[in-house]
Structure 1
């Protein structure tokens, strides 16, 4: 298989969690970001973590791992700047996986399945996993598109590019919930269309919150809050 580098985005301000940085919350016996690094390291040989907010704390929990870190000086300007920072640091790879630091259900098998699917399809396109009608992460970006993703300094990265250049994108149906954000990605929670829909959404939230409490050391209030967050796609 060609040389693949995983870029894990771990620079965000984590505003929704208040004073807490969700990447540092424990999943079992290790902080979430360390768990994610361990998962990616099992699947690919090279892992790069883009840091920003609380970079020193993130680097501390990664001590002893084989990953490299790169600090995004523009992290306050949003996720696209972190994607660009990671791409510049991984310029020698044949392809990169761009993933989030907060997907506790993602497994090494999920990553391997995505890579096999990508390299069995059109290697020149960006591969995005789909779970039903939901876009997932990580995504696979081939080296022939690195420069395109860095070309616009006002909007670097893959978020806008994958939506405005569909000819460079391929979607792969992959059923694992691990590709979604956290334990799930409830869509439309803010605008239920009927009383029954609203009740169904609340049941979904309660189920997600229960799963979050099993995965994390969180208060019930923190778990409820995380369960209703709609995270951006890369």
Structure 2
């Protein structure tokens, strides 16, 4: 079974005063922190870039098992980056779909999460206190649903398709609900945790 990581890092970081993927914590950019946590659970990782792609390339170029994929339509929205990544990972059995702005998820989460994989479902999503979070594991048999959807679509819309067989994992990791949209989020959710990330 081949599990591939897919990290979306193509957006403009519009609500931040800085470019999210390369914001540093403990001397490491967020994109590198996420990759290093995700890597043990994956056979390979694809990072989809767009805005400031060269800055991300410089960070990840020497990380083992990682390649970048440029999405020239990133301004149309995140779903175009997902489609670009899925198309490139057609030989994978599962894709670990991860946002770049979730660096606080603990290492142990990833090992726990991949153990939820079973043939009865094709969509595995963590939940904390009945609130659904990210990252998501997506199986190969629904890749076409994503590829054939309009660029303006969303994973939320895909999830409503009857072909999607969901497994919601009620977990003990509140971090699956945390992402970073603003400088305040970064200060409160990331910098305050410091070396515990």
> Which structure 1 residue ranges, 5 or more long, are not aligned?
186-205, 217-234
1:30 matched to 2:8? The reply is: no
Alpha-carbon distance between aligned partners in 2 of 1:74 and 1:178, rounded to the nearest angstrom: 30
Over residues 22-78 of structure 1, what are the superposed CA-to-partner deviations in whole Å (9 max), with x where a residue is unaligned? Answer: 111101110011111111112212111011111000111112102011011111011
Alpha-carbon distance between aligned partners in 1 of 2:95 and 2:143, rounded to the nearest angstrom: 9
Tell me which structure has the larger Cα radius of gyration: 1
**DSSP-derived class of the 1:73 partner:** coil
**Taking structure 1 as reference, are residues 207 and 34 closer, same or farther at Cα in structure 2, changes over 3 Å only?**
closer
Given that 1:11 and 1:51 are in contact with CA atoms closer than 8 Å, whether structure 2 keeps it comes out as yes
Given that 1:131 and 1:176 are in contact with CA atoms closer than 8 Å, whether structure 2 keeps it comes out as yes
Q: Which residue of 2 aligns with 1:152?
A: 149
1:213 matched to 2:191? The reply is: yes
Higher helix share: 1
Q: How does 1:45-56 map to 2 (within 5 A)?
A: 45-56=43-54
Q: Which residue of 2 aligns with 1:219?
A: none
Could you tell me how far 1:125 is from its partner in structure 2?
Answer: 2.0
Alpha-carbon distance between aligned partners in 2 of 1:96 and 1:207, rounded to the nearest angstrom: 27
Alpha-carbon distance between aligned partners in 2 of 1:207 and 1:8, rounded to the nearest angstrom: 20
Could you tell me how far 1:137 is from its partner in structure 2?
Answer: 1.0
Q: Which has the higher contact order (CA 8 A, sep 6+)?
A: 2
Q: Which residue of 1 aligns with 2:96?
A: 97
> Which structure 2 residue ranges, 5 or more long, are not aligned?
none
User: TM-score, with normalisation over the residues of structure 1?
Assistant: 0.74
**What do you get for the CA RMSD once the two structures are aligned?**
2.4
Q: Which residue of 1 aligns with 2:59?
A: 61
**DSSP-derived class of the 2:47 partner:** strand
Given that 1:22 and 1:102 are in contact with CA atoms closer than 8 Å, whether structure 2 keeps it comes out as yes
Alpha-carbon distance between aligned partners in 2 of 1:208 and 1:166, rounded to the nearest angstrom: 37
Q: Which residue of 1 aligns with 2:112?
A: 113
Over residues 3-32 of structure 1, what are the superposed CA-to-partner deviations in whole Å (9 max), with x where a residue is unaligned? Answer: 1001011111100013x1111110111001
**Taking structure 1 as reference, are residues 85 and 173 closer, same or farther at Cα in structure 2, changes over 3 Å only?**
same
User: TM-score, with normalisation over the residues of structure 2?
Assistant: 0.87
Q: Which residue of 1 aligns with 2:87?
A: 88
Could you tell me how far 1:167 is from its partner in structure 2?
Answer: 5.0
